[in-house]
Structure 1
Amino acid sequence: MTVFANKETFNNLGLEQVQQSHAHASQDCYICRHPLALHPTKNKPAKSKLHSAVRIAACGHIVGQQCLDAWLEVGNTCPTCKRLLFEPTGDPITQQDINNILRTLGPDYGEEAIMAVVARRVARQEHEQARMRQAHEIELERMKAEETEARNDAFKLSNDDFLDSDEDMDFEEEEEDDDEAFEADEDGSGSS
C-alpha cells in the first residue's frame, strides 16, 4: 500500500484524470452525491451539477475533482473506503481550511450542506484524537505496571536468600562476642 509523504505528492502522483467515455457507467460523486461527468454529452445544461472526475490510483475509487480537493483540505483518506492516502499533518482543521472549502464548493452545494460535512469531519477527528489519547493512557499505565513489577521482582526474596535450618546462625552469640570484644578493647585502651 503506497502512502504518500504529503498532500502535494499525492495530488501529483496518486490521481488519474478520468476521460469521458461511453464505456463508463454513470456514477455519482461519493462526496456530494451529484453525477460525475463521465459520459460525453452534446447538450450540456448551463448550470450542470456534473463535474470532472478523478480516480484515486491507490484504491481505484472515482470522485469529483473539486469535491476531493475540498475533502483533502481536512482529511487524508479516500472518501469512499477510508484508505490512508498520505501521511497526516496532525494539524487541526483551521478557519482558513473551512473558508477554502466554502469558496470552492459553496456556490454549487450551499454553505449549510458544506458546514454539515465539515462538522461531521471535525467530530470524527475529535473522536479519533480522544481514542488515541485513551489508547496512549492505557499504554502508559501498562508500561508503569510493568516497570513496577520489574522493580518489585528485583527486591523479591528467593529461597536462596534464606538459610537452611542446619545453617542458621545464632545472632545472639555473635552479638555477645562482639560486645565482649568491644569492652575488652575499651578496657585496654583506657588503662594505657
Structure 2
Amino acid sequence: MTAELVVYRIYGQPKIHKPAALKGVKPTFSLRQNKSPRKNQIYIVAQDVYVYFFDLFSRQHAFPEPVDMSLPVSALQRKYPELFSHRVREKFIYADTWVSIFDRNEGYVRFSGMVEAIRQSDYLPTIEGELFDAFSALSHQDAGFDSIGTDCMGQRFADYYRLLSDMTGKIYQMIIERQL
C-alpha cells in the first residue's frame, strides 16, 4: 500500500480541480476531521482510495510581527482583516479569545491497493499504522506543508491519525457488509 499526492495546493495558490481519475465519480462517503465545518471526501475506485483533504498539512500563519501571535482574536481581526474570510460581528468575538490561525492547504491523496490490503489483513491496527506512516511521509514533500511526523508529538498528529483510522474502519465495515 502506498500513498501519493495526486493534486494539491498550498495557501495562496490557485484553486485545484478534481483529478481526471475521479471525473464523474461521486464520493463513497465523507468524514469530518476534528471539528472542522467541512468534511473530507473519500472516493473508492477499484482497489484504490482517493481522499480529498479539505485541510492538508496546513501551517500556522506566520505574522510579520512575532508578538502578534499573542493577540486575542478581536485585535487580530482589526489588524489583519484579510485573514478573516467572512465578516464577524464584534459582539460575537470575546476580547480574551485566542485561536490558532492556519494557512489552509488542500489536496487529493491516493492510497494505492488499500482495499485489497484491508481485505487481506488479520489485524486492522497494523493497516492503520502503515497507512499513517505512508501518509505522514507525504508531509515532507513540499516546504509549504507542516510536517506531521510519526512521533505523536505534532500538533495535528491525532487529528490525521483519527481520520485515517475512521476511514479504514468504515472501508472494513463496507467490505464485511459486501458493499465493496
Q: When the two structures are superposed, what TM-score results if normalisation uses the length of structure 2?
A: 0.30
Structure possessing the higher relative contact order (Cα contacts under 8 Å, 6 or more residues apart): 2
Higher strand proportion (structure 1 or 2): 2
Higher helix proportion (structure 1 or 2): 1
Q: Greater Rg, structure 1 or structure 2?
A: 1
Q: When the two structures are superposed, what TM-score results if normalisation uses the length of structure 1?
A: 0.28
